[in-house]
């Protein structure tokens, strides 16, 4: 079962209008969505997004018994298009993005997300897309692979891992998570205590296959067109690249823009920080270790 992270904090800071329009950009198995609905009245509405077919099936099941839910099997980068189609630009009261991989995805070996289980090297959040991790690793150049492992995984052994993957695939296709883990382990003579040597490389490949940073930056850019004045966006991130993207976005719009010409009036900030940095409690981490790296940030549209 997937446990929604920072649930009480999300509800406290995101829901401001019981009859408002809210969006869960990452439905997962519906933990956050169910709690959001409990805070909305009969006039409230919730639009949920996910790329994962199993998540969409769970969302449709929930929608069968609650007419306030609209289900979209699309990436959250398409959120603005959907909101515009609903005629609700500048009318959304709250947007939630939980950027973590859901527990069902991690725990199902056949999805290939986790180095802990042997399974096919898939890693696609939307399994209808053509290129899996296996397919991509079969043709990516060593130079590109090294850069992606470095930039998205922040892996110091990126060069030797990329080289080893390319040499190995020339001898035999890399088709399973265990095969990839074995290659990575040979390239990491020492590693942080308590962290598996494949963690960063698996993260990098998964983020590339699903274009996770590009998706995040797109929805952040679109948020100002969707939110009503007073509407809020809550983002739960899990690693430095996600944190950096949200902080950069907040800095750009919370401080206003620089005056370009002498005599030009400065633009007022369009956002304010409601929550700068909230981490899970020690109790929550003890109950759900996957929450340990989560950080919640909440922004409100003010103009």
CA distance 265 to 22: 34
- Percent of the chain with pLDDT strictly greater than 70: 95
Q: Using CA atoms, how far apart are residues 213 and 57, in angstroms rounded to an integer? A: 25
Q: Tokens 């609903």 identify what position?
A: 86
pLDDT of residue 189: 79
Helix (H) or strand (E) segment spanning residue 143:
helix 142-153
Torsion angles phi and psi, residue 151, rounded to 5? -80, -40
Helix, strand, coil tally for the chain in percent (to 5): 45, 15, 40
pLDDT of residue 193: 74
d(Cα 246, Cα 114) in Å, to the nearest integer? 26
pLDDT for 265 equals 57
pLDDT score of 258 = 47
Q: Which residue has the tokens 């009245």?
A: 41
Q: Is residue 150 within 8 Å of residue 158, measured between CB atoms?
A: yes
Share of the chain above pLDDT 90, in %: 80
Q: Are 227 and 259 within 8 A, CB to CB?
A: no
Q: What's the CA gap between 77 and 273, in Å, rounded?
A: 22
pLDDT at 156 over 80: yes
pLDDT band with cut points at 50, 70 and 90 for residue 217: very high
Q: What phi and psi, each to the nearest 5 degrees, are found at residue 269?
A: -60, 145
CA distance 193 to 203: 18
Q: Which residues pair with 233 in a beta bridge?
A: 95, 299
């Amino acid at each position: 079962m997937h446990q929604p992270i920072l649930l009480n904090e999300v509800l406290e800071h995101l829901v401001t209008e019981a009859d408002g329009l809210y969006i869960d950009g990452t439905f997962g198995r519906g933990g956050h969505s169910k709690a959001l609905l409990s805070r909305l009245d009969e006039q409230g509405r919730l639009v949920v997004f996910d790329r994962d077919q199993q998540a969409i099936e769970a969302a449709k099941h929930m929608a069968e018994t609650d007419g306030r839910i609209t289900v979209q099997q699309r990436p959250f980068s398409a959120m603005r298009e959907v909101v515009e189609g609903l005629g609700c630009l500048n009318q959304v009261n709250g947007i939630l993005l939980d950027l973590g991989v859901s527990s069902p995805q991690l725990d199902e070996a056949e999805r290939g997300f986790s180095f802990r289980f042997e399974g096919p090297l898939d890693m696609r959040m939307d399994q209808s897309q053509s290129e899996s991790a296996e397919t991509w690793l079969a043709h990516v150049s060593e130079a590109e692979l090294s850069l992606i492992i470095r930039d998205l995984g922040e892996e110091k052994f990126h060069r030797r891992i990329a080289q080893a993957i390319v040499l190995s695939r020339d001898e035999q296709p890399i088709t399973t998570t265990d095969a990839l883990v074995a290659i990575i382990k040979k390239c990491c003579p020492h590693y942080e205590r308590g962290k598996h040597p494949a963690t960063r490389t698996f993260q990098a490949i998964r983020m590339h296959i699903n274009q996770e940073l590009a998706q995040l930056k797109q929805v952040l850019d679109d948020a100002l067109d969707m939110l009503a004045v007073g509407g809020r966006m809550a983002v739960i991130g899990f690693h430095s690249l996600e944190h950096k993207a949200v902080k950069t976005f907040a800095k750009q719009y919370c401080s206003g823009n620089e005056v370009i010409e002498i005599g030009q009036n400065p633009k007022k900030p369009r956002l304010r920080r409601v929550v700068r940095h909230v981490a899970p409690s020690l109790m929550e981490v003890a109950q759900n270790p996957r929450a340990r790296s989560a950080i919640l940030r909440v922004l409100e549209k003010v103009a």
